[in-house]
Structure 1
Amino acid sequence: KTHKYMLKGCQVFLAHVTTKEAEGKSEKKQLENVPIVRNFPEVFPEDLPGLPPTQQVVFQIDLIPGAAPIAQAPYRLAPPEMKELSEQLKELSDKGFKRSSSSPWGAPVLFVKKNDGSFRMSIDYRE
């Protein structure tokens, strides 16, 4: 086909395109390779042990008078997402990060797939 264009007098350009990996980019980034993390390992634990000790904090959220609680129906989740939800909620509960509630407020949960294939749980607070 190129030969046909050359016979018609068209300009033809030849290009050879290859991929080249950048130096140092072929290795996956690891947290251990970051100098600040390596120098202060006690500040960056592998796993969080739990919540810090409870402290008395005076805090209050002032609501607009007469405002009704917002509670949205949960989104439908596929079976793998339901399994992931149970695992993540159990882990959060075991570590003391979450506890049961009977609050009239509520928002649906959804999952976002991370680059490594695992799921990040997100809460949709939009109305």
Structure 2
Amino acid sequence: MTFQAMSKVSILKALAGNERGQIIGASTYPHAAVVNAFVAETRASEWAIVLAINLGFRRVQIKCDSLTVIKKVNSYNVDCSILSPIITDIKYKLGFFMEITFHHARRDANATAHVLA
């Protein structure tokens, strides 16, 4: 995810790889009127899930560099933050998968995805 605070625009990107680490799908999506970086990060995770659904994946690992997003998605508590509508949508989409896990990936470990953006 790339976020430009001045213009309130983010570029969301998602990579899909197989168990051998080979990239088998990629997607970018410009998103306007983004309030802040937390919203942009949450939208990026949502976009990765949409890509996985569109590719027909049933077992998925989502790598995200935002611990906040991971904690909110994994929480059973109702989210009352600005992220609530996106988190709710992500949780709904989890039902499309047999197995889905979220893993924290440090931003510098996401070099391939950042090049894509």
* TM exceeding 0.5: no
* Pair member with larger Rg: 1
User: Structure 1 or 2: larger strand share?
Assistant: 2
Structure scoring higher RCO (CA < 8 A, sep ≥ 6) equals 2
User: Structure 1 or 2: larger helix share?
Assistant: 2
TM-score (norm 1): 0.23
